[in-house]
Amino acid sequence: MTSAIPNRLPSAAKYTLAQLSNLLPVTALLYDAWRVKSLSLLTGEDFTLEREFALMLEWLNVQPDQNFLDVGTSTGNYARAVAERGAVVTAIDLSKPMLTQAQKLTMQPNITYEQVNIEALPYADSSFDGVVVGASLNEFFDTKQALFEMARVLKPGGKLFMMYLRESDTGFGRFAQTAFKLSGIRFPNRDVVAATLLQSGLERSRAELRRAVTLELFVKTGRTSVTPSDPAERNLSRAAGKPATEPLT
Ligand SMILES: C[S@@+](CC[C@H](N)C(=O)[O-])C[C@H]1O[C@@H](n2cnc3c(N)ncnc32)[C@H](O)[C@@H]1O
């Protein structure tokens, strides 16, 4: 089932090398060969896509009358898993070849694909019951802006599921991640992610850590943290051993 994919990208945006590589048709064609094995290779366990989807769907408790945003959908894996439960899904990506491939693989009429940059979402505040993000957090140019945008479009009580590779807990691990960072791949610190989302009223409710692979669920409670622009409060948070709200790249 194919239909025209709307281009809703902002007229100017900065892209990293990693993002530019996803604009190539060959990347879209080869992507799923990597994706089906990716979590098994990264965790060292038998971590199939089915296991990943089952965990995501259990945490989200997707209902047929809900609507979801799949951010950085690539070939549409998360979008199809959520749509199987009957929810309406808007699946977005920067890459036209990825979206075209996703559309070719999709039979469900309840998924719409759109070319959109997460950092400038063309959707109103509180428009979605849920947001899902599979590994895309590692690729955004401005991670903090992306997190704020996801939080903005979530309804109160809405859920955010993310799977990403976090900053390594060891010095050697952080050194190994440096080479990838040169291409624009980010390894967000999970405490900083949580502190950033808390500014928008989202609290972490579930987490599963497998090596650097991080699966997390946040819920929009509406309770917000101190603003990062308040140095006195920030020092208080540090003194209390809470994560500081550092700018994300
Ligand atoms: C690692 S893939 C994730 C694929 C998919 N979510 C999954 O679980 O298989 C990252 C995707 O995010 C997209 N992407 C990167 N930066 C983006 C941005 N700023 N806005 C929207 N999509 C973006 C890339 O084009 C790429 O298709």
Ligand 1 pocket, residue 136 CB under 6 Å: yes
Q: Using an 8 Å Cβ cutoff, are 145 and 200 in contact?
A: no
Atom of ligand 1 nearest to the CA of 136: 10
Into how many domains does the chain fold?
A: 1
Q: Using an 8 Å Cβ cutoff, are 118 and 72 in contact?
A: yes
Mean pLDDT by 10 residues, the chain (249 residues): 89 90 98 98 97 98 98 98 98 98 97 98 98 98 97 98 96 92 95 97 98 97 67 35 42
Per-residue pLDDT at 248: 63
**Pocket of ligand 1, candidates 14, 74, 118: which has the most ligand atoms within 8 Å of its Cβ, to mutate?**
74
**Pocket of ligand 1, candidates 93, 106, 142: which has the most ligand atoms within 8 Å of its Cβ, to mutate?**
93
Residue 20 lies in a domain: no
Residue 41 lies in a domain: yes
Residue 5 lies in a domain: no
Residue 122, classed as helix, strand or coil, is coil
Atom of ligand 1 nearest to the CA of 140: 16
Per-residue pLDDT at 51: 98
End-to-end alpha carbon distance in the chain: 38
Residue 62 lies in a domain: yes
Q: Which residue has the least CA distance to atom 8 on ligand 1?
A: 134
pTM of the predicted model as reported, rounded to 2 decimal places: 0.91
Atom of ligand 1 nearest to the CA of 132: 6
Angle CA(85)–CA(89)–CA(93) in degrees, nearest 5?
135
Residue 8 lies in a domain: no
Residue 91 lies in a domain: yes
Q: Which domain holds residue 90?
A: 35-239
Per-residue pLDDT at 229: 45
Residue 30 lies in a domain: no
**Pocket of ligand 1, candidates 8, 139, 213: which has the most ligand atoms within 8 Å of its Cβ, to mutate?**
139
Residue 195 sits in a domain whose CATH number is 3.40.50.150
User: From ligand 1's centre to the CA of 73, what distance in Å?
Assistant: 6
Ligand 1 pocket, residue 95 CB under 6 Å: yes
Per-residue pLDDT at 237: 34
d(CA 212, CA 210) in angstroms, rounded, equals: 6
Atom of ligand 1 nearest to the CA of 141: 19
Per-residue pLDDT at 226: 54
Per-residue pLDDT at 242: 37
